[in-house]
């Protein structure tokens, strides 16, 4: 065991795009677990778009990240020392310990994982929070029916790739939107979506209309801005729109001015924001269903791995520019 714990703290709040100056690395002694607590050595850190939102000091669905504290985030790691009878050294766990190499958590805040069945890192992605977001957003709000057309943005990413594949299993025509030919080729050739529109090609509306000859019945929105506005133009009557994320706006200093709300009215569209925490009581059910699909080879999955905690800030900056290709992770050991 190294003699110290390295941590990444939030040093300052970004104005617009995140920069490396917004973070500070510190080395501190490794903490010891008290009664009911567990010391974990983190192996994988998840980088997620929501982290950008937490860096702002604004009211949201959870309180902001505090300055000079360890950056928020989920990790997967190994129990080193335990004062909770539910865990023993060597156990693999999902944790809320954030951007650090070691951490002490209450046993009640840890989730045991079975890394013999599914790779440990998948608990941060396809069978973790992003996969469950896709599962509940699609099934509980999108409510896909066979023969319907679904459009999902950030289609090659952690949430979008799962949404599209689950919608294919449900019998939908699935159209992805992604940035660049390489991502679009992957979405069609590997994930087997019916079409994928490269929004960076400069012809978003016409390309989307060509890919959706029968209009759009379900929009699964991960990006927002012009992508949502143009998708709204193609919506069918009684369409559903899942507002899962607005990543195109996270670094923006001004909100995007939406112009297509009229489509919501005339088409009687149901548009609903979702936060995956609302299904917390049903995580086990979703995790198990997703794991079965992964084991059966019905869900493909891709990871984008950065090595070393020191590189985590660069990883988040890149994620918010679409530089990741699949679920963004930091390998810590």
Ligand X SMILES: NC(=O)c1ccc[n+]([C@@H]2O[C@H](COP(=O)([O-])OP(=O)(O)OC[C@H]3O[C@@H](n4cnc5c(N)ncnc54)[C@H](OP(=O)(O)O)[C@@H]3O)[C@@H](O)[C@H]2O)c1
Q: Can residue 117 be called a binding residue for ligand X (CB under 6 A)?
A: no
Sort 317 into a burial class: Cβ within 10 Å, 0-12 / 13-18 / 19+. Answer: buried
Q: How far apart are CA 126 and CA 87, in angstroms?
A: 24
What is the C-alpha to C-alpha distance for residues 131 and 121, in angstroms, rounded to an integer?
12
- Decide: is 54 part of the binding site for ligand X (CB under 6 A): no
Q: Which segment (36-44, 82-90, 125-133, 291-299) binds ligand X by CB under 6 A?
A: 125-133
Choices 2-10, 73-81, 95-103, 178-186; region in contact with ligand X by CB under 6 A: 178-186
Q: Which of 274, 286, 299, 317 binds ligand X (CB under 6 A)?
A: 274
Please tell me whether residue 159 binds ligand X under the rule CB under 6 A. yes
Using alpha carbons, list the distances in angstroms from residue 206 to 180, 256, 274: 16, 21, 29
230 binds ligand X (CB under 6 A): no
**Contact pattern from residue 70 through residue 109 relative to ligand X, giving x for each residue in contact according to CB under 6 A and a dash for the rest:** ----------------------------------------
Using the rule CB under 6 A, is 164 a contact of ligand X?
no
Please, are residues 249 and 225 in contact by the beta-carbon 8 Å criterion? yes
Q: Does residue 17 interact with ligand X by CB under 6 A?
A: no
Task: Give the C-alpha distances (Å, rounded to integers) separating 112 from 35, 237, 282.
Answer: 19, 44, 16
Q: At its nearest, how many Å lie between ligand X and the CB of residue 204? A: 11
Give the interface size with ligand X as a residue count (CB under 6 A). Answer: 30
Interface residue with ligand X, options 54, 173, 183, 293 (CB under 6 A): 183
Residues 219, 228 contacting (CB under 8 angstroms)? yes
Distance of closest approach, residue 65 Cβ to ligand X, in angstroms: 15
Decide: is 184 part of the binding site for ligand X (CB under 6 A): no
Residue 223 contacts ligand X per CB under 6 A: yes
Per rule CB under 6 A, is residue 144 in the interface with ligand X? no
Q: Does 330 bind ligand X (CB under 6 A)?
A: no
Q: Is there binding between residue 154 and ligand X (CB under 6 A)? A: yes
Whether the CB-CB separation of 38 and 91 falls below 8 Å is answered with no
Answer yes or no whether residue 247 interacts with ligand X by CB under 6 A. yes
**Residue 283 contacts ligand X per CB under 6 A:** no
Q: Which of 5, 156, 165, 231 binds ligand X (CB under 6 A)?
A: 156
**Window 301-320: residues binding ligand X (CB under 6 A):** 319-320
Least separation in angstroms between residue 47's CB and ligand X is 8
Among the listed residues 92, 324, 329, 330, the single contact to ligand X using CB under 6 A? 324
| Residue 133 binds ligand X (CB under 6 A) | yes
Q: Residue from 248, 271, 286, 299 that binds ligand X (CB under 6 A)? A: 248
Nearer to ligand X, 103 or 322 (CB): 322
User: Whose Cβ is closer to ligand X: residue 104's or residue 187's?
Assistant: 187
Cα–Cα distance, 56 to 60 (Å, whole number): 9
The residue whose two tokens read 């936060």 is 275
- Where on the chain is the footprint of ligand X (CB under 6 A)? 48-50, 129-130, 133, 154, 156-160, 178-179, 183, 222-223, 244-245, 247-248, 274-276, 319-322, 324, 327
């Amino acid at each position: 065991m190294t003699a110290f714990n390295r941590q990444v703290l939030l040093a300052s709040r970004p104005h617009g795009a995140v920069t490396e100056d917004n973070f500070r690395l510190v080395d501190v002694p490794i903490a010891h677990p008290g009664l009911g607590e567990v010391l974990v050595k983190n192996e994988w850190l998840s980088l997620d778009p929501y982290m950008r939102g937490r860096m702002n000091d604004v009211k949201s669905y959870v309180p902001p990240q505090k300055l000079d504290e360890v950056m928020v985030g989920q990790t997967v790691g190994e129990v080193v020392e335990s004062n909770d009878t539910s865990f023993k050294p060597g156990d693999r766990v999902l944790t809320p310990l954030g951007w650090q190499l070691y951490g002490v958590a209450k046993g009640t805040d840890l989730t045991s994982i079975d890394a013999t069945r599914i790779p440990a890192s998948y608990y941060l992605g396809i069978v973790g929070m992003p996969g469950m977001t896709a599962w509940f957003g699609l099934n509980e709000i999108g409510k896909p029916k066979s023969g319907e057309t679904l459009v999902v943005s950030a289609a090659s990413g952690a949430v979008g790739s799962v949404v599209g594949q689950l919608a294919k299993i449900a019998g939908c025509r699935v159209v992805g939107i992604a940035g660049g030919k390489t991502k679009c080729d992957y979405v069609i050739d590997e994930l087997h979506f019916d079409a994928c529109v490269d929004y960076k090609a400069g012809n978003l509306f016409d390309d989307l209309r060509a890919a959706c000859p029968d209009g759009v019945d379900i929009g699964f929105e991960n990006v927002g801005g012009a992508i949502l506005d143009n998708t709204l133009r193609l919506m069918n009557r009684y369409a559903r729109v899942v507002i899962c994320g607005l990543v195109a706006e996270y670094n923006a200093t001004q909100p995007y001015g939406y112009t297509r709300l009229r489509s919501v009215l005339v088409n009687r569209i149901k548009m609903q924001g979702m936060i995956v925490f609302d299904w917390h009581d049903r995580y086990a059910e979703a995790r198990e269903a997703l794991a079965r699909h992964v084991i059966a080879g019905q869900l493909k999955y891709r990871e984008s791995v950065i090595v070393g905690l020191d590189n985590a800030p660069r990883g988040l900056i890149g994620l918010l520019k679409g530089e990741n290709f699949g679920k963004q992770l930091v390998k810590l050991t």
